[in-house]
Structures are given as structure tokens and as C-alpha cells.
Amino acid sequence: MNLTGNTILITGGTSGIGLALAKQLNMLNNKVIICGRRAERLEEIRRVNAGIVTKVCDIADAQQRVDLTEWIFQNYPEINILINNAGVQLHTDFLRTGDLANIRKETEINFIAPIHFIQLFTSYLSRKESAAIINISSGLAFVPLAVAAVYSATKAAIHSLTLSLRYQLRNTTIKVFEIVPPSVDTELGYEHREDKTSTHGGMDVNEFASQVIDALQNDIYEAAIGTTANLRAKPQEMFDVLNRW
């Protein structure tokens, strides 16, 4: 896949994987558009990263997803790549009464929003000479982290969705990729840390983004980055390792 001269939307681009990808793709002479909820954060990113376009959008809201899509089609009609990256990871304790609002939030952001964006973009992208939809799943799609049961389930659903989408679009110009991250050093899951500003460790986010770009350039349609190859190959063994708590 050619990663120069494209116009790309990245959801959840204000931090972590989304921001690292935005910066590297921007340096490869692509027009990169990122969205997120934090207006101040988006403004700061736009100010220090010449060329990156920012737009406020809470992707948990269906109407805002529609509005964002229409705004892009009107202002950046050359759009040809969608990266479904935004995600939230919450903890679920089934021995306690669950917070249904949090379950809905996690499912909406991690699974329903990507499906909705795919529906909104696919017909438009299919008219492009070259296009791609890139879904960010997780190693937890293959080996769930029990404490993050809903998150893991949504990522398993993204994996399944991507397989079906790739098959449905096999006769179009749209390439369909799944990027499978390992634990990456980002803000994901910060709500559960005593220090809310800390990260959870894992792979350096810039190294991760570099490997993602290599995978896309080499048309690796299901790219298991870093340690996720072990999760994919040895699910039961790795489940026991991952859930020792």
C-alpha cells in the first residue's frame, strides 16, 4: 500500500496510538485529519504539528459521527483512508452490580462507532482508485484479559468484523487491514491507575507506529505487532499467563 499522498481520518487522535500514527503519516506527506473530544488538546496538536487537521467529535454520539463524516466529504473530498482507532478500556466485575452506562459507553466507542463509520465511508471510498479501512483491534481479541472483559470482547468483535468486511469488499478498490497491538505505552485504561497521568507500560508507542506503517506498506492485512504473535498462536497458554492475579 502506498502511504504517501493520501487523505486519512484517524479517530481518537489526541493521544497514544492515534496521535503517534498521525504524526508519522503526516511526515510521509499525507493529509491527516484527527478527531477527539478534547478541544484544547486538538488545538495544541494542530499548533505544534504543521499540516495535521483537527476536528472536535465525540464518537460515542451517533449524530456527531454523521456530522464529522459530512464535514470531511465537503472539506476533504479526496479522503481515501479511514483508521478506526478510538477506544476505551474499563474494568468489569461480574460479582458486583455493573454500571450499564459504562458497558454501553465501552461498546459504543469500541464497536458500534467503527461499524457506523464503515457504513458511512464504504460507498464513498469504493469510488476511489485506491482506498483502505484500517481497524485497530488488540491482542486481547485473541486472549481476553478477564478484568477487562467487555473491552476484550469488543476487540474480538472487531477482529470478526474485519474478516467479514474484507471478504465483502474483496472486489472493490478498498483494502481492509487489521492492526493488532500488544500492550502499548499509552493512556489507555488510565481510569484504573492511582496516578491518572501514568501509563501502563508496554511497547513504545512511536516504535509501534513505525511497525504499523511497515505492515501497511507491505500489505500485511492482519498485522500482529510485537508480542501479539504469541497471543494469536498460543491462546490458552497465554490466557493463563495474562490472567495471573
Residue ranges of E strands in 65-126: 81-84
Nearest to 154 by CA among 144, 167, 163, 164: 144
**CB–CB of 55/71 below 8 Å?**
yes
**CB–CB of 223/208 below 8 Å?**
no
Helices 62-75 + 113-125 axis angle, to 10? 30
What lies within 8 Å, CB to CB, of 206 at 6+ separation is 20, 24
Maximum Cα interatomic distance, the chain, rounded to a whole number of Å: 52
Active-site option among 76, 124, 151, 221: 151
151 carries an active-site annotation = yes
Distance (Å, whole) CA 179 – CA 121: 19
User: Phi and psi dihedrals of 59, rounded to 5?
Assistant: -70, -5
Q: What is the dihedral of CA 178, 9, 182, 226, to 10 degrees?
A: 70
User: Phi and psi dihedrals of 164, rounded to 5?
Assistant: -65, -40
Catalytic residues: 151
